[in-house]
Structure formats: structure tokens, C-alpha cells
Amino acid sequence: MTIHMEYYLVVSAIMFFAGIYGFFVRRNTLAILISIELILNATDINFAVFNRFLFPDGLEGHMFALFSIAISAAETAVAIAIMINIYRNIRSIQVKNLNEMKW
């Protein structure tokens, strides 16, 4: 009994669309960011799986996942800095209160 490639892809698809659902439905900016993390993580799994199963001699998907992790860490840090700044200015991070971009 072997584990086929499709099994991994199904797992990552479930994770991806859980992230999409959260992105549409949640109304807290930090919850939206968490959903974005789920989406990015699902794509990283796909890169690693395609590399392992279709091109086992190369390292392209592995490297792409590595760089993607670095970039999403940077993105999260800046986004959380923005959220903290927004909270300082309007005392809330709910999307419904964010109706003007000027402070």
C-alpha cells in the first residue's frame, strides 16, 4: 500500500480552500492574515510534493518552498506592524471600522 501523490494534493487542497473560506468570511484583520498563512502553506506543500514525485532529481520545488517561507515570514512581520499601527490609531482591528485610510 503506497501513498500516491494525489493524497498529498487532496490534503493541500482542503487546507487551501479552508484558507479561502476564512479569507472571505472572517471580519478580523488578524484572522484574515491567519487565513493567508494557510493558503501560502498549502502552496508550499504542493511545491514539495511536485518536486518529490515528478522531478525527484531536481531541487527546484524545494528551493521555491524555502524562499516562499522566507517571503511569507517577511510579509507577516510587516502586516502585523501595520495592524498594530492601525490599532494604535483607531483602537480596533475589525474590518468594519477601517473605512478611512487617513489617520
Partner 1 sequence: MGLSLETIIFYILAVAISVFSVLTVVTTRIVRSATYLLFVLIATAGIYFMLGYTFLGSVQIMVYAGGIVVLYVFSILLTSGEGDKAEKLKRGKFLAGLGAAVAGGVIILFITLTHQFKPTAQIEPVEVSIKSIGHALLGGEKYGYVLPFEAVSILLLACIIGGLLIARKR
Footprint of partner 1 on residues 37-76 (CB under 8 A)? 37-38, 41, 44-45, 48-49, 52-54, 56, 58-60, 62-63, 65-67, 69-74, 76
One-character DSSP codes across 23-50: HHH--BHHHHHHHHHHHHHHHHHHHHHH
Whether 38 contacts 19, CB under 8 Å: yes
Of 3, 42, 45, the closest CA to residue 23 belongs to: 42
Distance CA 8, CA 40 (A): 15
Please identify, using beta-carbon distances, which residue of 2 and 100 lies nearer to partner 1: 2
- Name the site residues for partner 1 (rule: CB under 8 A): 1-3, 5-11, 13-22, 24-28, 30-31, 33-35, 37-38, 41, 44-45, 48-49, 52-54, 56, 58-60, 62-63, 65-67, 69-74, 76-78, 80-85, 87, 93-94, 96
